[in-house]
Amino acid sequence: MIETTFAKAINQAIHDSLESDPKVLCLGLGTTDPKGVFGTTLGLKEKFGDDRVFDIPTSENAITGVCAGLGMAGYKPILTHQRLDFAILSLDQIINNAAKIHYMYGGNLTCPIVIRMIIGRGWGQGPTHSQNLQALFSGIPGLIVAMPSTAQDAYSQMRASIENPNPVIFLEHRWLHNSNGEISKKYSEDDLIKQRIMKEGSDYTIVATGYMLIEAIRAHDILKKNHGITGDIISFRNYNPDLITEIKESVSKTRKIIFADTSQRKLSVGNLILFELKKHTNLDNIEACTLTLPDVPEPTSKFLTKNLYPNYRNLIKKVGYLMKNDYSNQDTLLKESTSHDIPGEWFKGPF
């Protein structure tokens, strides 16, 4: 096992794929900049040359179309749109071309392209640099949406995405890049079709996406320490409302579920998943709720965002609501060490 950060795990995954397959390419705005897309592409150009690792013009739609063509020609491009918001300009190529190629050509052509997008908040980003639109892509047939929450998944899901013959939208929450974890250099196709159980218990289930997994684990640990209850914490790392086998098994045991999403309420698949769970006759009496952002654009001002973002405190209250208890004694909760709109002192820029 290797101790590393989320960002370095992505860098290692891209490095290992470039090294093992000459058809893999790494490109995107900022790929060869001194900061290397938050550290995820540092050193790659120096190792593999500028014919395989290179920057691009600021023309998102055009370059995404070029990558779709490269995929059809047998290459495996890894394209980075530094923010998901920028990738909106390339939706025509993603939705009308990359996602449809395999179907329209009767399976004779594939489009193995990985499109990296950074999501999530941070001071100064505001409504056009912070959107969590994972549900938009998950609703498009032909697209896979990977949403890693740990360093291990950052590595294994990136490797699996590069090897997959279908286009993959690879979403990285900005607050996760400097999080630490252990990784092994193992991956399989299961990394794109299974969710990951992070903690186990019998009292409740929390299904969390992206950075919300960190908050869910904090809530779990506080509830265990101070109230003696434990639950299943599931990383919803593949944003697909059909991939809920692990969730069904957990809820069959706990009968209580919270779906915690980084997106706004209307842009979450949480309610759809809860509906799917309740369709099963043995799960029709479960207690369920969601925790998301409100349905408003994310403000720029930290004074307006102070109580906007859900966290472990909200999750503890939700667990209490489902279990008909009050677990929100503020004296027992962790003290906040940083401002609410940055994940740590390392966070130095609006992007």
Whether 210 and 120 have beta carbons less than 8 Å apart is answered as: yes
Question: What pLDDT does 349 receive?
Answer: 64
Is residue 348 very low, low, confident or very high in pLDDT (cuts 50, 70, 90)? low
Structure tokens at 319: 């667990």
Percent with pLDDT over 90 in the chain:
84
Question: What pLDDT does 302 receive?
Answer: 83
Question: What pLDDT does 350 receive?
Answer: 59
Question: What pLDDT does 297 receive?
Answer: 92
Is residue 89 very low, low, confident or very high in pLDDT (cuts 50, 70, 90)? very high
Question: What pLDDT does 23 receive?
Answer: 98
DSSP H or E run through 12: helix 6-20
Question: What pLDDT does 303 receive?
Answer: 86
196-332 belongs to CATH 3.40.50.920: yes
What is the mean pLDDT of the segment spanning 321-327? Answer: 93
Report whether pLDDT(66) > 70.
yes
Is residue 31 very low, low, confident or very high in pLDDT (cuts 50, 70, 90)? very high
Report whether pLDDT(123) > 80.
no
CA-based nearest residue to 78, from 10, 179, 151, 5: 10
Please report, as a single letter, which amino acid is at residue 125. Q
Question: What pLDDT does 54 receive?
Answer: 97
What is the mean pLDDT of the segment spanning 112-122? Answer: 93
What is the mean pLDDT of the segment spanning 72-93? Answer: 96
CA pair distance 257, 318, nearest whole angstrom: 9
Question: What pLDDT does 246 receive?
Answer: 98
What is the mean pLDDT of the segment spanning 9-23? Answer: 98
Which residue intervals of the chain bear CATH 3.40.50.970? 2-188
Q: What mean pLDDT value characterizes the chain?
A: 93
Cα-based distances in Å from 52 to 30, 48, 80, 314? 14, 6, 14, 45
pLDDT tens digit sequence for 220-229: 999 999 999 9
Report whether pLDDT(205) > 60.
yes
What is the mean pLDDT of the segment spanning 107-132? Answer: 91
Question: What pLDDT does 335 receive?
Answer: 63
Is residue 332 very low, low, confident or very high in pLDDT (cuts 50, 70, 90)? low
Supply φ then ψ for residue 250, to 5 degrees.
-70, -45
Task: State the DSSP code for 229.
Answer: -
CA-based nearest residue to 350, from 70, 131, 130, 67: 130
2-188 belongs to CATH 3.40.50.1860: no
Task: State the DSSP code for 336.
Answer: P
What is the mean pLDDT of the segment spanning 48-56? Answer: 97
Report whether pLDDT(330) > 60.
no
Look at 18 and 126; give whichever has higher pLDDT.
18
What is the mean pLDDT of the segment spanning 316-326? Answer: 95
- Lowest-pLDDT range of 56-65, 79-88, 235-244, 276-285: 276-285
Question: What pLDDT does 351 receive?
Answer: 57
Which residue intervals of the chain bear CATH 3.40.50.920? 196-332
Question: What pLDDT does 206 receive?
Answer: 98
Question: What pLDDT does 338 receive?
Answer: 66
What is the mean pLDDT of the segment spanning 142-171? Answer: 98
Question: What pLDDT does 336 receive?
Answer: 63
Instruction: Give every CB contact of residue 96 below 8 A, 6+ residues apart in sequence.
Output: none
Please report, as a single letter, which amino acid is at residue 296. V
Report whether pLDDT(331) > 60.
no
Question: What pLDDT does 102 receive?
Answer: 95
